[in-house]
Structure formats: structure tokens, C-alpha cells
Amino acid sequence: MAKKFICNGMLGKLCNLLRVCGIDTLYSNQGMPIVLQARREARIILTKNTRLRGKKGIFFIEATQPLIQLKNVIIEFDLRQGIRPFSRCTICNEKLVTIAKESVRDKVPYFTFKNFNEFAMCPTCQRVYWKGSHYRRMLDEIKEILM
């Protein structure tokens, strides 16, 4: 079974990077209710909160740089095989679905529509994704982490 995570309010950038990698990751800045949510949904809590350090089901993040944090989580939980870049919405964590180019004509800038052919959309928030320069840059960063 794939590992699922929940990042506390101190780790928003890490949450985003995990989602970019296709790893099911929620974000919560609700304080201690995160513990109940994690138990209810069988999620591992990722935190920098020293009060939670050493508790069951919690992984304490030492590093301050998000890419190093990401690498540490991937190594600690042996996630390399489960990485599916750009398969989740970076906003709401839903799995993306491939959509026809024609269906995004009015949802993306003209330049994007004209120059790209592959698009995906979040079924929940309707955000549209494509493989622009940000895609190549992030893919390079992910590959570097996996080496």
C-alpha cells in the first residue's frame, strides 16, 4: 500500500513538492487536530514541531531546505518506486486526468494553447496543467534528488 502523508503548517513547500512527485500529501495548519486526521486517514505526519518529535506516526523534519526535506522523506520511506511526477494537483492533491487540448482553449493563455499539446486537469478544482518550462525544471530537480 502506498504511503500517505500530511504536512503541518510549517511544511507547505515540502507538501507541494511531494504532490509534484505524485505522492498523496495533505496540508494542515490546524495544529493538534492534525494528529486525529492522520490516524483517521492512515497518514504519516511530517512536521518541524519539536513537541511532536519522537511520537508514533510522526516523522520529524530536520532540514530547512524543501528539496533536502523532500529527499529525506523519499529515502526514509523508500518512495522512489512510487514517484509519478505531475500526476496530482499541487493545490488540492487530487489525481489529475488527461484532457483533450480543445477542451482547454478558454482555460489557458493563448501562447500555451498554441504551443503545447498535452494537458491535464484536476477534477476537483479544475486547475489545468501542461508541460511548460516549469515542468522541465521540476523534473530535473526530481531526477537529481533520485540519483
Q: What is the pLDDT of residues 19-30, one digit of tens each?
A: 999 999 999 998
pTM for the structure as a whole: 0.92
Cell numbers standing for residue 48: 518541524
For the chain, domain boundaries: 5-82, 97-146
Q: Check if the beta carbon of residue 109 is closer than 8 Å to that of residue 35.
A: no
147, pLDDT greater than 90: no
Cell numbers standing for residue 119: 494537458
Statement: residue 31 has pLDDT above 90: no
